[in-house]
Chains A and B, each alone.
Chain A
Amino acid sequence: MAANRGSFISRWIFLPIALVLVFMIAWGIIGKKLVVVPELTQGSKNITGVVSDIDFDNKTLKLDVNEEIEEGQPTSWTVDFSSAKKAFAIKKIGEEPGTELVIRADVAGLEGEYERYDFDVENLSQTLKDGDVITFIGSKKMSTAEFKASIMHLGGIFNAPELHERQEPAEIYKTAVILCIACVGLGESNLFWFWLIMALLLLVILGWVVTRIVIGKGGVA
């Protein structure tokens, strides 16, 4: 009896599981019209304007942009460059080609988190003055960005150049680059030492394989 029961289960158990999985696929395609991917998409933003009303005591300045950036956005920005919490790069252009000045700043009116840069803010008062033309070169996270739902996005995703080519509605900036060229290891890593230990551990395992199996004691199963 045990043999019969086992045989029946082994032959038919795939069916209910397959039905559940078919439902999952259907849910993946039909159940969600839009896949919200928070923090996945980021848009880079450059804002160029003229500096005025620099107050080095309170570390604020006013930036008058040359043109309206987006509909509804102000053309005059108050910049607080005293905070290190939200970093926003400012690039000074003009007097000395090839040299760049970057400072940390909070920009009133812009919400969200920005890329973090580490700058030297020394000698700021000597290099930045009213009338300078500077450019914000930060990257703004578009936390409300949504991907248009399709089988492609439910199943996989094209890599960055392909997405760019397809003119997807959201610009893939940092994340997709990380995703897509992770194959090269991406240089430095926060867990570098951990991976080094992992690699050594792998070598130990491989060493065990070589010594245990290749040299004499190998066997089937």
Chain B
Amino acid sequence: MSELAKKIKRKLTPGEYRIQVRIWVQWAFFALAAGPLFVLAPIVKQLPAPWYVCWSCPTGSGACALGTLQHFTGAGTFSFFTVGFLGLLGVLIGRATCAWVCPMGFLQEMLYKMKRYGSYIVGIIIFVTTMFLAWFTPFLGTAWNVTRDLSGKYSSYGLNYLLESGQMNAFIFWLALYLVIAVGFSLIFFLPQRKFTLPNSLAQFMRWFFFLFPFIFFVIITRYNFDTGTWGLGEVWWCKICPIGTITAGFPQMYLQAIPQSAFPIFGLTSTAFIGLSTYQGIFGEAQLMYFIKWTMTTGLMWLMINSKRFFCKGICPLGTIFNIFNWVSANKIKVDQANCRGSSCNWCVNHCPMDIAIYDPTAQWHCIRCLDCLACPFGVVKHEVSPIFKWLVKEPPAKNIPALKEPNPPNNPTFMQWAGFVDYTPPQARK
């Protein structure tokens, strides 16, 4: 019997089985949120999505919860439904949606698992996309005389315009410049991969930096209209820098622009109600220097996603930060038997964690996405703890024969969260 046949025939352990199930669930939600199941958009878009896909994604079938919050804040109202919906998910299942549902989380897991040649493919895509944008859009267009007509629409001045208008010197100059930029962008994906761990402390800092500063602050100033200098509906600033918006909507919408309407009538329609696909017309001119900044940031982020597990989820995602807050009060928790855990001398959980966190560290609760992969701990010290109300949902695994530690040495002093009662803590006197 071949090795493959042995692997197939071998019965999966509960932990391995759970990981397999999670991958299939991720595929299913990928199809729903940003894939072929976009036909369900008229139904699913009626709810704020617990995943992170731009609602301008041509195949997006959910309303971006963060966009909704901005939208309502800008309109001077509070979205009770969105906040309640996200909060309820958070208190019931913690951050589990990040692990089981979010297509961007799935994409990052796939990017991280990619081998060397997968990285090359990403580099080629980055190169082609950069040149595509340079050809059709102003991109670095503020260097040119980009004008607006009466309707406020930008004229499109790309490389194609320079070529068609016979400005050969300018064409060659800008072509060379764009080639240098495109090669520079794609080159980093051809370098040897250097996988690294984003430390919890830095991730924590980044998370709150990106959440408090750009998101909350700019959601607030969404109320300020810089055009008129008055308080009112301004612009959605988070969307302007959102890398997920760039990946799921910014690029696809631009590519769809290039498809001749006569060639594929579906894309020629402003909206196709019968399949739910949604595209915009004439937005090449909108992609200017701001878009170039977004593109640069997204390119860098793609490299980080390849080299660090779920970099965006761990250090940036505002939606994840909202769920993180509820992680502490969630009915769905991961509990570690600190007395028997080998901690940093083992790190099996760290190596298998899609978020690259040490679950035995109490501060890891901020980042834990409840994927449940760590429940496959060979020593059985990681337990799934749910509220007594939901006990019937979780099957208690059989106790494992845990070899005794020679020198179990849990910390004596409680952490702040232990002190506050959110994390179990046994005083040294009460320990055997």
Interface of A with B (CB < 8 Å)? Answer: 2-3, 5-7, 9-15, 17-18, 21-25, 27-29, 31, 35-40, 89, 91, 100, 102, 113, 115-117, 137, 150-152, 154-162, 164-166, 174-175, 178-192, 195-196, 198-199, 202-203, 205-206, 209, 213-214, 218-221
Contacts and interface: CB of A to CB of B under 8 A. Distances in A.
Contact of B245 (A5, A35, A40, A182): A182
Contacts, number: 285
Contacts of B278: 159, 161-162
B245 A18 contact: no
B10 interface: no
26 contacts: A3-B426, A3-B430, A10-B423, A13-B329, A18-B331, A24-B80, A24-B83, A28-B79, A38-B232, A40-B75, A91-B150, A155-B46, A157-B63, A166-B273, A179-B71, A182-B240, A183-B54, A183-B249, A183-B253, A185-B290, A185-B292, A187-B285, A187-B289, A196-B293, A220-B344, A221-B200
B240 A21 contact: no
Contact of B47 (A91, A156, A166, A185): A156
B240 A195 contact: yes
Contacts of B190: none
Contacts of A28: 79-82, 84
B288 A185 contact: yes
Given A137-B151, A182-B56, A195-B290, 9 more contacts: A21-B84, A91-B150, A154-B81, A179-B71, A181-B283, A188-B288, A192-B290, A198-B241, A214-B194
B424 A6 contact: yes
B240 A189 contact: yes
B20 interface: no
Contacts of A214: 194, 196, 307
B425 A6 contact: yes
Contact of A155 (B82, B200, B280): B82
A181 B423 CA distance: 44
Contact of B236 (A18, A179, A187, A221): A179
B233 A175 contact: yes
Interface residues of B, number: 118
Contacts of B418: 6
A221 B363 contact: yes
Nearest to A8: B421
Contacts of B83: 21, 24
Contact of B71 (A157, A203, A218): A157
B45 interface: yes
Nearest to A205: B206
A154 B422 contact: no
B84 A17 contact: no
Contacts of B409: none
A14 B422 contact: no
A220 B350 contact: yes
Contacts of B151: 137
A137 B245 CA distance: 32
B227 interface: yes
A152 B46 contact: yes
Interface in B185-240: 194, 196-202, 206, 214, 226-228, 232-233, 235-237, 239-240
A117 B344 contact: no
A181 B297 CA distance: 18
Contacts of B76: 38
Given A14-B330, A175-B233, A186-B290, A218 B81 contact: no
A91 B361 CA distance: 68
Nearest to B226: A190
Contacts of A158: 45, 55, 63
B197 A157 contact: no
B248 to A, nearest CB: 8
